[in-house]
């Protein structure tokens, strides 16, 4: 993945984050924070983020990425409440917000 692709993904994820209904976004971030605290499951995500904060999510989309998306669904945060009806397009910036990493996405709070 080159720098141009990274910028494209950054812009895409920023756009997706800002398309989400604000209440749904805030609630899903809080839900993930609680899951991460309760299960202690965030360390592998933080390790990946600290290794490469631009592409941390690429290698794990089908590993813990799937687990996170399924956990959100199990918590009542269903895909049909998202503009594109698919967590695949939204979970990455939500994870960054939940992890309280130096989130690279511009969240336009209302």
Structural domain boundaries, residue 45? 3-99
Indicate whether 104 belongs to any domain: no
Residue 40: predicted pLDDT: 66
Listed as ranges, residues in the chain with pLDDT below 70 are 1-4, 6, 40-42, 56, 60-63, 101-110
- 56: buried, middle or exposed (CB in 10 Å: 19+, 13-18, 0-12)? buried
Q: Does 90 map to a domain?
A: yes
Whole-angstrom Cα distance, residue 47 to residue 87? 22
In a domain, 27, yes or no: yes
Total of domains in the chain: 1
In a domain, 106, yes or no: no
- Say if 60 falls within a structural domain: yes
- Is 92 a domain residue? yes
Residue at 57 is within a domain: yes
Say if 107 falls within a structural domain. no
Cα angle vertex 92, ends 24, 85, to 5°?
A: 50
Q: What pLDDT is stored for residue 9 in this prediction?
A: 78
């Amino acid at each position: 993945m080159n720098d141009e692709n990274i910028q494209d993904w950054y812009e895409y994820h920023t756009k997706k984050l800002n398309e989400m209904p604000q209440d749904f976004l805030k609630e899903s971030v809080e839900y993930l924070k609680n899951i991460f605290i309760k299960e202690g499951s965030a360390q592998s995500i933080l390790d990946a983020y600290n290794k490469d904060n631009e592409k941390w999510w690429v290698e794990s989309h089908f590993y813990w990425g799937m687990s996170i998306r399924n956990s959100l669904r199990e918590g009542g945060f269903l895909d049909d409440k998202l503009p594109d009806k698919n967590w695949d397009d939204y979970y990455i910036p939500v994870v960054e917000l939940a992890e309280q990493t130096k989130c690279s996405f511009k969240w336009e709070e209302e």
